[in-house]
Amino acid sequence: MSAGYNHVDLQEVKAKGIKIGNTPVVLNNAVADKAVLLALGAAQRVTEGRWHIERGTWNSFFDAQWMLGQDISGSTVGIIGFGGIGQAIARRLKAFDICKLLYTGHKEKPEAQQLGATFVDQDTLVKNSDFIFLAAPLSEETREMCNEDFFCKMKKTGVLINISRGQLVDQPALIKALKNGEIFAAGLDVTTPEPLNTDSELLKLPNVFLTPHLGSATKKTRNAMAELAAKNILLGLADQPLLSPVIFESTMARFKVLITNPTLPEIAHNLLKEKCDVIISPGFDKASIISVISGVDALLWSGGVPLDKQVLDAAGPRVKVIGLMSSGYNHVDLQEVKAKGIKIGNTPVVHNNAVADKALLLALGAAQRVTEGRWHIERGTWNSFFDTQWMLGQDISGSTVGIIGFGGIGHAIARRLKAFDISKLLYTGHKEKPEAQQLGATFVDQDTLVKNSDFIFLAAPLSEETREMCNEDFFCKMKKTGVLINISRGQVVDQPALIKALKNGEIFAAGLDVMTPEPLNTDSELLNLPNVFLSPHLGSATKKTLNAMAELAAKNILLGLADQPLLCPVIL
């Protein structure tokens, strides 16, 4: 009941003339899904984010540089071991707009060309990859191949993902590399030993994203593995060839612009300083902002502080334009902005990929019970070797997925889902979208979507119409195996109703990047639920995305000051 067979004495099996079969192929999709989950979770600092939520040290509204992760879009990805699982990972990566895909192994694979993968030696792969996936089987050749020398060659921003076997990695060397910042992070479904010791240093590192060897732990996959194993036995007993035998082998200077957040990327500062006098708020709070706001011509607004009448009155009548460092604007008094004749721009589109990546991370993490798995690792209650039904998650492949809100982020989520072999894609909103047909999405009313979807992604903006639309009635209509993912705004969900539904088993799980309040109270019931996968509102928190948002916000301001149309205006 496994693809690997490093736990089997093959020489003894061969010597005794025993046929042996394994269960490859049928687990490729589930393990590849796990690999993508681990890559996203490690790159987006899920473990560290959870700790901040638990400790009440959530800081995303005040420090724009806080908890920035690594982008998978635009990256170079290396896969060591390009068999069935490696190729399934590669197929999924096509949806993430990666720049380059490298692979290595004993020989070139003819199917690699179709996947856009380039064969290189291992040294070249390690030195050039931003993400390295270990998908090679354990052998004497691969045992502890990821050693000190391996980690020294990796980029300091590199992320290692292991869904193969723990023994491929020299674990003390990995721990040292993670502690010393030689690499950025690691996502591990396999470790040494297994179960992992509860005092392991891996559990103390913020840049390690762990799951307890559950790569194939979905109902569909385990059923397929059990069926294949049973058929191998029946064929062997009938002296027939096994289905999957193990082969035995040897001039705007007069304008003043206030940047409300001193941690914004330099690109915004530099763009504005070319033509404006730039003032930087001494603090993140409202009082600090108001203390330096008088007489400015423009605001670059970042953070969770409400942009209300008090702030605008304090700024005075010279304000011509506001550049928001966000896509949403529910924290802005738009009526007051309109009344004062101020232009306002936001930063959509540029963060679509990062937020969509986060949405997929949350879906995979919630469906595959990451929070509960981490607790089992920490408590020493790891049981995957003894109970094949333990900790089974939900399959995204073959599922019906619903997206509420089919704008830019909804589209980006849909594009990624194409790589996960889903059965049906539904969406709802104010009207049908012509581009939905190309993505294979069907427009339905919300009631139909909620009742029929296995996964529901919330990607609609917050409005009076969407506020607390996910209420008790909503959760009653969802499938008991349903997974809710929210990357919109916390207020779209009636949080007490969600907690009740999760506690009572009315739905299977939830993945939340947004919640109420933010930062979340450290005594929130959400933190006590095993079927909630949380991150502290970091949907757009990657360096590339933050830089793009800062650049767009600054350009909106410069255009507004020049009485030109904004690149991304908020329609008042």
- pLDDT score, position 485: 99
- pLDDT score, position 249: 57
Q: What are the backbone dihedrals phi and psi of residue 400, each rounded to the nearest 5 degrees, phi first? A: -100, 125
- What amino acid is encoded at 395 in this protein? D
Give 294-322 pLDDT, tens digit per residue: 999 999 999 779 999 999 999 999 999 99
- pLDDT score, position 68: 94
Specify the pairing of strand 424-428 against strand 400-404. Answer: parallel
Q: Is residue 46 within 8 Å of 361, Cβ to Cβ?
A: yes
Active site (annotated) includes residue 537: yes
> Confidence class of residue 251 from pLDDT cuts 50, 70 and 90?
very low
Average pLDDT over residues 238-252: 74
Check if 10-55+69-210 and 255-348+545-562 are the same fold: yes
Average pLDDT over residues 197-208: 97
Q: Is residue 568 within 8 Å of 347, Cβ to Cβ?
A: yes
- Cross-strand bridge partners of residue 77: 101, 131
Structure tokens at 421: 């072999």
- Name the more confident of 10 and 230: 230
Structure tokens at 216: 């194939």
Give the fold, CATH level 3, of 351-381+390-534.
Rossmann fold (3.40.50)
> Confidence class of residue 15 from pLDDT cuts 50, 70 and 90?
confident
Q: Using a pLDDT cut of 70, give the percent of the chain over it.
A: 99
- Span 255-348+545-562: which CATH code? 3.40.50.720
Following DSSP, what letter does each residue of 119-130 receive, concatenated? E--HHHHHHH-S
The SS3 of residue 262 is coil
Our CA angle for 70, 360, 153, nearest 5°, is 30
Give the integer Cα–Cα distance in Å for 136 and 105: 8
Contacts of residues 569-572 at CB distance under 8 Å and 24 or more positions apart, as own/partner, are 569/343, 569/344, 569/345, 570/324, 570/329, 570/332, 570/334, 570/344, 570/345, 570/346, 572/334, 572/337, 572/338, 572/344
Q: Is residue 211 within 8 Å of 364, Cβ to Cβ?
A: no
Question: Residue 91 pLDDT more than 70?
Answer: yes
- pLDDT score, position 413: 98
Residue 394, exposed/middle/buried by CB under 10 A (0-12, 13-18, 19+)? buried
Q: Domains of the chain: which residue ranges?
A: 10-55+69-210, 255-348+545-562, 351-381+390-534
CATH superfamily for 10-55+69-210 is NAD(P)-binding Rossmann-like Domain (3.40.50.720)
Low-confidence winner among 43-47, 249-253, 531-535, 561-565 (lowest mean pLDDT):
249-253
Give the integer Cα–Cα distance in Å for 536 and 1: 38
Question: Residue 77 pLDDT more than 60?
Answer: yes
CA distances from 139 to 31, 136, 214 (A): 19, 9, 21
Whether omega for the bond prior to residue 306 falls within 30 degrees of 0, making it cis, is no
> Confidence class of residue 386 from pLDDT cuts 50, 70 and 90?
confident
- Helices 352-367 and 28-43: crossing angle in degrees, nearest 10, is 120
